[in-house]
Structures are given as structure tokens and as C-alpha cells.
Chains A and B, each alone.
Chain A
Amino acid sequence: MRRAFHAPRSIRRRLTLQLVTGAALIALVLFVIVFNFARQIGSESQDRILAASAASILDETSVISGRIAIDIPYSAFSMLDNASDDRVFYRITRDGAGLTGYDDLPAAAQAGAAPGFDTVRFRGEDLRVATLSRRLSIGGTPVQIAVTVGQTRDALADVLSRILRVTVILGIGFFAASAMLAVLAGQSTANSLRRLAGSVSRRGPQDLRPVVAEVPSEMRPLVASLNSLIARLSTALTRTEDFIAEAAHRVRTPLATVRAHAENTLRRVDKEENRVALREMIRAIDESSRAAGQLLDHAMVSIRADQLDLSPVALNALVGELVDRLRPVADLKDMDLRYRGDGPLEILGDPILIQNAVRNLLDNAIKYAPADTPIRVTLTHQGRSAVLTIQDEGIGFPESGAAHLTGRFARGENAAGVIGSGLGLTIADEVARAHHGKLTVANTQGGPGACVRLSFPLR
């Protein structure tokens, strides 16, 4: 229950709670005011009737031949009749001495000619009394005649309990209506936040335009800072892509230059030990160049895979082009690179990433398979997927299994003699995942060599 004492974390809840609490307070205040007002009015109306009753008795009080004559009118008491059958008491005094009525009935203190009112305890009940007095003269001697009329307060209590019931219903009704409005207000506030969140999350990956949705003025600072964040993010992304392109260029070009120089030198050098050293050098340069290329590929894949830029890709054409481009490299090892593709298979994807993946797989096959062996590349339509299969007749994957090879920098135990960074399969795997596709690596059944399958869902 500790939670209840903290402001709730949800804006909707906090707002609703505050409004509901406010409504409860107002309902309570309303109740107290209305009830007190009703009690005052009820009390005043009883006072008025009591005063009228006392006045009507006093009106019928006169001096007849030196004697005080009091002829209480029937209406003096019948006007006090009410639905609750309240008890009625009265007392008439002359200069404080009882003339008639209930001798022990206390009188109310009176100011001048105005009636005085009081609430007294009489015969075990609360009594409201009104006292009115008048000066008469008997043979030149002034006498004070005071009339006190009292009544129990059952009718008032009845009326009050009825008003209390109505007021309670009114208060509860007001509270319920306010609480409902509070919930609605909380919801509508939360909704405008949710709408903003929705409009931001529905955006495409490349959509880094500022948010222009109509929002309540209180949320404008949030949108402004969101827009400024988007702007900075956009700048940072552009800068990263630029950096990758720049780095690729900067690293590859000097390495190519160094390799060219090393090859030239190799041709001129006759001494066997120098030639060995130069060949080692060329090998190291190749390794660096390839590693740099793959690292940059991987970085590119990572960035682009996070926010995939989908467009229709003609897979057949893309793979055919890559095979053609890599054929010279394969020819160097006297490899027969054969490609057979089913008709136009179109998928939704990022062409640059798919190109990257396929190139790395072809690269791997050419590199790890022994010279003078064929590499078969086939593109087939299987169910709802396009499947690219690359089969070679090389040493294949190690017996220990091929699954872990898609991990970063993982290399097969049997690939020690070949230049490689271990990133090729990783890149292909990440691209496949980003496109909801799949990369499977296995050895060719019933024969030497590896079989790599890359599948993408069709459009």
C-alpha cells in the first residue's frame, strides 16, 4: 500500500486522482452548506409559527373591568399542528408570575418588543420556545404580560432527515458525475500523448522529418525537443554513413597502392628469400584489405538493418550481376562459377544489403574451395520464398557443426590456411534476419563441399 502515498506514475491516474479528490471535496462542502442552510430555514419557519402563535394569544389578552382576560384563540395551537404531531406547551405570566399554562416552562430571553427564541430542555425533550410580551395597564399600574409558546422539534428533524437524504443523493450524484468527467479528462489527456507517440512510432525507418502533428500547447515543448533530437540523430546517422564510405575509401586505396608496389618489386627481385618476404607482404596486404572491406560491410549492414529501407529487388538480376562481377576472381583459381536462376523473383528488401550478403557468400566459396573445382549458384522459387543456394566441392564445414559459424569473427577449425576475418557468414546472417529470411549452412549431402542457403520471403 506504500504506493498509494506516492503520486502515481501515470499522468492519467494522477490527473484523475486529483480531479476526483477535488470533486469529493466540493461535494462535501456543497453538502455541508446545503444542509446547514436547510436547517436554518427549517428552524426559522418553526420560529415564525411559534411567534405567530404567541402573538395571536397576546392579541386576545386585554383588561376587562380591572381584570386580565385572556381568550386563547383556537388557531393559536391548531396552527402548530403538523405531520409529526409535535407536542405543544405554553405559559402566560403576569410580571413573571404564572397566570395559566405549564408553570415550569422556561421562557426565552427577549429583546424589546421583538419575540425571543430559545431551545430548551423540557420534560425530557428539546423544545423550541418563543416568548413575546406586552405591557398592559390596570388602573394606571403597568403590568407585563408574557406569552411563551413551545413546541418539540420532531417535524424539523423529519424535514431535516428528508433534506439530508436528498442532499446526500445530490452530493453523491455530483461526485459521481465529476468523477466520470475526471476519468474522461484523464483519458483524453493520455490519448493526446498516445496519439503523438503513435504518430512518431508509425513512421518509416528513414523518416527523420520533424513531427508536425497538432498537439495541445502543453505538449509543444515535448514535440520541440523531440524534433531537435530527431534532427541531431539524423545528422549523426548521415555522418556515420559518410564516415564508413570515407573509411572504406581511405583504407582500401592506399592498400591497393602498396600491393601494386609490392608486386612490382617482386618482379624485379631475384633473391629467393626476398621474394618469400614480399609474397608474405602481399598476402598480409590482401588479408588487411579484405578484413577492412568486411568490417566496413558489417558496419554498413548493422546500420542499415536497424532501419530497413525496403524497395522491390529483382533477385535474379542482382545475383547474376554479382556472379558476373566475381567470375574473373574465380577464373584466377580455375574455378567454374555456374549460375542458374529461376525467372524473375522479386522480394522487398534493401538492395545494398542483399548485394553485400550475396557477395560475401560468393567470396567465401571462391576463397575456401580448392582450385579447379566447380561452384554452383542456383536461385529457386520454393513455396513463398526465394532460395539462393551456393554449393562448392571444397573441404566443407568442420564436423563439429556449422551453426556457430555465423557468429562474429568465428572461423572454421579447418580454415587456418586461408585468409579470412570470419565476418562473411555473419554479414549474410544479419541481412537474412533483417529481411525475415534465413541463412542455413551445411555440408553437401553425399559429397564433398559446403552448401549455403540464403532464403528471402517473396513479395
Chain B
Amino acid sequence: MRTLILSLALTLLALPLRAYEVEEHVRFPSERAGPELRVISTADVDLFTPFILGFQARNPGISVDYYMVSSSEIEIALTEDGAQFDLAISSAMDQQLRLANDGLVQSYRSTATASLPTWARWRDRVFAFTQEPAAIVLSRADFEGLPLPRTRQDLITALREHPERFQGRIGTYDVRESGLGYLFATQDGRSSETFWRLTQVIGGLGPRLYCCSSDMIEDTASGRIAVAYNVLGSYAQAREDLHDRIHVIAPEDFTTVLMRTVVIPVAAEQPAAAGLFIDHLIENVWFEDSGRFAFPGITSDSLTENASLRPIQLGPGLLVYLDRLKRQQFMEEWEAAMVQPG
């Protein structure tokens, strides 16, 4: 069923020219005539399809037009291009928060949003529906005979001791392209100085830079790279077919936890349907036992139990690294460390 829809609706080549880049476009038609919900999202279509089908089962008559983009494209689409979408779903919390802060999203209230803890919503405009850790993914083959690194410091030690094994085989986000990568990197930099040392070490080994978590996971599994740093743990967990080839490590010194958020842009033409979709996400992802789904919810209990989890606060502090000068400065430092000559 899913593959049928996917194959029917894969139209990424047929898209008209847009300033923002769409990676994948899938249409989920409804059985009955009704409103069409235009969703722009950073979530992989494969992973997100069950939620959309679940939503349509509860709300027959609403068809969903799903555009999958990289995280920086959402902001371009909604601000510079003025594209019309009913929902924007992103893992880049900082950009979602800035959209809300700048008045580009609508407020929405329902019993479902009211049931969210206050730290999981902002101004009744930004709603979190998952909590996902930034993980380190290791290739089982390459760590044969080596102790598994539990912390960043362990990883640094392993990389320094076996440079020949890891040369050119470290992957991480290219923060210049990926909004999520930038968010992870800036939060890491905020949390600990170890991040910069690790960046130096990775930079010295000629790293491969990626746009997306799924690519990094697949390359690690295939043996193309040995270590993928700052990968969405949820994606890695979801790829059960690869678990015999990879380790998914939540660093014990600290694990950055991001919240995937959803907003309704001001230009939304179907805000009511968008609201229903938000309710569905909150009820099915945030509160339900998420074992069946690709996005694991981290309960507030597990947050207090595990002191190493550092959730990214949904608040105005996120605006700091979006500042033009701050970003420029961070990029310079990052490039200096990561993209080393030779």
C-alpha cells in the first residue's frame, strides 16, 4: 500500500521550478473529496507515512500533499518565496521558533495542545511532538576489537589512536547546508568544550560532510564510513534492518535531545485541517507508546532519570545562533576546524 502510494506519487522530477529545493513530493489522496493539506517537512517520507495514513484514517476526506525538504529550505520557502503551506514540520527548532517569533505562524489551541507540557510548546504556535537524541553511529565492522566509545572523549581517543583506520571515514553534518546540523553543532558547542576538540580531530581526518541523517546511517552500514557523528538517533533506531552492522551510541557525557516541532504558517489556507493534524501528531506520537512508530517519544521521566540528556530548550535563546554575525563567527570557527587544508 505504502509503496504503491509512493510510486504513484513520486513526482519530484515533475516539480515546477522553485527557489526552495524539494527533495521528495508525495500526494496522499483521500477517498472522498475534501480539503487538501499542504505539508512542508524535513521528515523522511518513509518514516512519516504511517502518521499521515493514521491521520487520514481518522479524518477521511482530507488529502495530504507532502513536500520533503532539508531544514534550511523551510525557512526559505516560507519567508523569501512566500510559498503557501498549511503545516511546516521541522527538526530545526531554532528556525521554527524564529518563524513564530517573527509572526509568520498562526496560533492554535486545542485540548491536545493544552495537554502538552509548557516546555513543549511556545506561544501556542510551536508544538513539539517528538524528542529525539543526537546519536553517534558506528560501524560494527570497524570497531571490531576496539572498546566501544561511550563518550566524546572515548571517541577522540579512538580516533587519535587509529588514524589510519578512520582517515576519510568520518561523517557528520555539513552545518553550512543543514539547519539541523547547525542546531546540533551550536548546542554541542554550548554544552561542552569537548565538541571543539572533537571537531578538530575529525577535521584532521578528512571528514565526509552530509546533508542528512539517513545518508550517514546508510553509508555507515555499508562500510563507506566508520563513524557518523550527530545523527538523529530516531532514524538510526528505525533502521532495524541495519542493526547488525551498526552501533547506535547516545554519548554519556551529554546527549543533545531535540524536539521535532510543527507550526501553522500564517498563509495556511486550511488552518482547521492543519490543527487536526497537529492534534493527531501530539496524541499519537507524544503520548502513545511510540514503539510502533519511527519517532520515539522520550517521556519526561526518562529525561529526569538520565542526567546526560540535554534537551534543547524551546525559547528565545535559540535566536542567538541565528544571528547573522553569530552565525558567521560560528561558521568561521567550524570551517577552520573541520575543513583543514591538506
Q: Which residues of A contact B (CB under 8 A)?
A: 69-78, 80-81, 83-90, 92, 99-101, 123-125
Contacts and interface: CB of A to CB of B under 8 A. Distances in A.
Contact of A74 (B103, B122, B190, B325): B190
Given A72-B326, A123-B102, 5 more contacts: A77-B318, A77-B319, A81-B316, A87-B316, A100-B323
Contacts of A86: 316
A286 to B, nearest CB: 112
Interface of A is mostly: mixed
B315 A81 contact: yes
A125 B315 CA distance: 19
Interface of B: 100-103, 118, 122-123, 190, 313, 315-321, 323-326, 329
A78 B317 contact: yes
Give 6 closest A-B pairs by Cβ, nearest first: A78-B317, A81-B315, A88-B316, A77-B316, A85-B123, A100-B325
A83 B329 CA distance: 31
Contacts of B122: 85
Contacts of B319: 77, 88, 90
Given A72-B320, A74-B320, A87-B101, A81 B329 contact: no
A117 B317 CA distance: 22
A77 B320 contact: yes
Contacts of B190: 74
Contacts, number: 61
A80 B122 CA distance: 13
Contacts of A76: 320
A146 B317 CA distance: 20
A80 B326 contact: no
B325 A81 contact: no
Given A72-B326, A87-B123, A100-B325, A81 B317 contact: yes
Contacts of A74: 190, 317, 320-321
Given A70-B325, A99-B325, A123 B103 contact: yes
A170 to B, nearest CB: 28
A74 B191 CA distance: 11
A88 B320 CA distance: 11
B324 A100 contact: yes
A362 to B, nearest CB: 103
A336 B316 CA distance: 127
Scoring A85, A87, A89, A124 by chain B CB atoms within 10 A of each residue's CB, the highest score goes to A85
29 contacts: A69-B329, A70-B326, A71-B325, A71-B326, A72-B325, A73-B320, A74-B190, A74-B320, A74-B321, A77-B316, A77-B319, A77-B320, A78-B317, A80-B316, A81-B316, A84-B123, A85-B315, A87-B100, A87-B101, A87-B103, A87-B123, A87-B316, A88-B319, A89-B101, A99-B325, A100-B324, A100-B325, A123-B103, A124-B103
A86 B100 CA distance: 11
A125 B100 CA distance: 13
B325 A88 contact: no
Nearest to B326: A72
B92 to A, nearest CB: 17
A343 to B, nearest CB: 97
